[in-house]
Amino acid sequence: MVRVASDQTKDQTGLTGYGAVLFDLDGVLTPTAEVHMRAWAALFTDVLAEHGVDKAYTDADYFEHVDGKPRYDGVRALLASRGITLPEGTPDDPPEAETVCGLGNRKNKTFSDVLARDGVSPYDGSLRLVRQLADAGVPMAVVSSSKNAPDVLATSGLAEFFPVVVHGGVAAERGLPGKPAPDTYEAAADDLGVPHQQSVVVEDATSGVAAGAAGDFGLVVGVDRGVGADALTKAGADVVVGDLAELLAPAGD
């Protein structure tokens, strides 16, 4: 069931009517958000125990502090929530390093190992929508905080649909702030050559929805994969759905 914000005035008659659709990846197109959640839980359960913190890491921590953010920002946010201070380190730190970057790299190694071992397939509804948009000639991009986005797209068979992928590595190279700032989504629309006002942002994380709401985009769609429709609406989603199949245009449109 599509849920529309009470003050919604934007057109929601179908995404094929927009100039471009900009998708988050993990949790929107593929169920890799679940792999990320497990990797973060494994990391922080050990870290909090090592620092003698009684307040255990939970899924609520993932949604509040980590979901949708660049990896090192997620580490900083979670550590700060528990009053833990670690050296920043550098992105070259090994996974064993007790630094912000070291912990982020440790989590990334766990994620990469699971992806290589188990692979990933797109959500059925997401694949159907992507194919419909491709058939309609609507340009599409992926905007992900994860540097693993190209590997996930290749593994899931989705890479052919997305000529533009603005992932964490691209953001770092261009000096773009991560979500909840709108810059990475704006860059994707610019790379596609489509005005922001004619572009749609599709996100499952509150930080990503906030990024879409902070920009001048034509529509911000929240996908409720667990964070909750109310949280997505509060973050700025114009429309909230439980699955991207709900956004398919009727046959013949």
Residue the block writes with tokens 């709108």? 182
Residue 85 CB-half CA count within 13 A: 0
Please tell me what DSSP assigns to residue 97. Answer: -
Q: Known catalytic residue: 54? A: no
Spatial CA neighbour of 80 closest among 53, 107, 41: 53
Quick one: which H or E segment has residue 221?
Answer: strand 219-223
Q: Known catalytic residue: 93? A: no
Which among 11, 24, 118, 238 is annotated as catalytic? 24
In angstroms, the CA 177 to CA 95 distance is: 24
In angstroms, the CA 30 to CA 38 distance is: 15
The Cα-based distances of 38 to 1, 11, 33 in angstroms read 28, 37, 9
Contact between 184 and 176 (Cβ < 8 Å): yes
Distance of CA 35 to the CA centre of its chain: 13
Which among 7, 26, 61, 204 is annotated as catalytic? 26
Contacts of 183 (CB under 8 A, 6+ apart): 171, 176, 177
Catalytic residues: 24, 26
